[in-house]
Structure 1
Amino acid sequence: MANQHSTTEEQGKRHRHEGPQKHIVAFIFSIVLTVIAFALVAAGEINESFIYIMLLAMAVLQVFIQMSFWMHMKDRGHLFAIVAILFGVFVVLTIVVMAEFWTWW
């Protein structure tokens, strides 16, 4: 009769379950970034350039958090998805830059 029970080493090689701890931390970090963004905009007396830079930085952080923890892009086997997303970002940035040049001329 074949051994139906696998060892913990074999289970660890197949799939490692992270547990909810990292998701809870990522969720709290996302909420904190959102609250900071709302507070910056609601303050009103802060320099507009500083607000735009901070909002952009927090948006980039938010994207990395969403991609790595909620969409599991940090795990193995997601190379095609990552390349597709990066290509999409490249296409969108190219379109935005070309639209800017088109409106300037």
Structure 2
Amino acid sequence: MVNQETNGVQSVKRRHRHEGPQKHIIAFIFSIALTLIAFAAVAAGGVNIAFTVILLLVMAVLQVLVQLGYWMHMKDKGHLIPIVFMAGGFFVAGTAIVAALYWMWW
């Protein structure tokens, strides 16, 4: 922080903190690990199909969160409006999927 004096008023100038590549490398390794776990679950073959599907869905949700948080920078301040609109889109899409499944099997 740098202190500057302007018109008798002291102001504080803040710098933008640069994250550096460390968090991106960790997020990349985490994404690769999630992908390898998903591939291993499918390649194992002898694993229960219901367990495999649930594991794949959990890996997909974690992968989306990592992608949005680190690569799309949704974890940073000032991204509330895009997060709200994306949550609304997920809600509408989820409602449409549930309604379609209900309509097909009813």
Q: TM-score, normalization: structure 2?
A: 0.86
Instruction: Please state whether the residue corresponding to 1:19 is helix, strand or coil.
Output: coil
SS in structure 2 of the partner of residue 46 of structure 1: coil
RMSD: 1.6
Alpha-carbon shift at residue 71 of structure 1 (Å):
0.3
* CA distance in structure 2 between the aligned counterparts of 1:35 and 1:101, rounded to whole angstroms: 33
- Considering Cα pairs closer than 8 Å and 6+ residues apart, tell me whether 1 or 2 has the greater RCO: 1
1:41 to partner: Cα distance: 0.4
Aligned partner of 1:7 in structure 2 is 2
Larger Rg: 2
Paired amino acid for 1:10? K
Distance in structure 1 (CA, Å) of the matches to 2:40 and 2:47: 11
Unaligned runs of 5+ in 2: 4-11
Where 2:104 maps in the other structure, the secondary structure is helix
Number of aligned pairs?
98
Shift of 1:7: 2.3
What's the % identity of the aligned pairs?
A: 59
Displaced runs of 4 or more, over 6 A = none
Q: Secondary structure, in 3 states, of the residue corresponding to 2:13?
A: helix
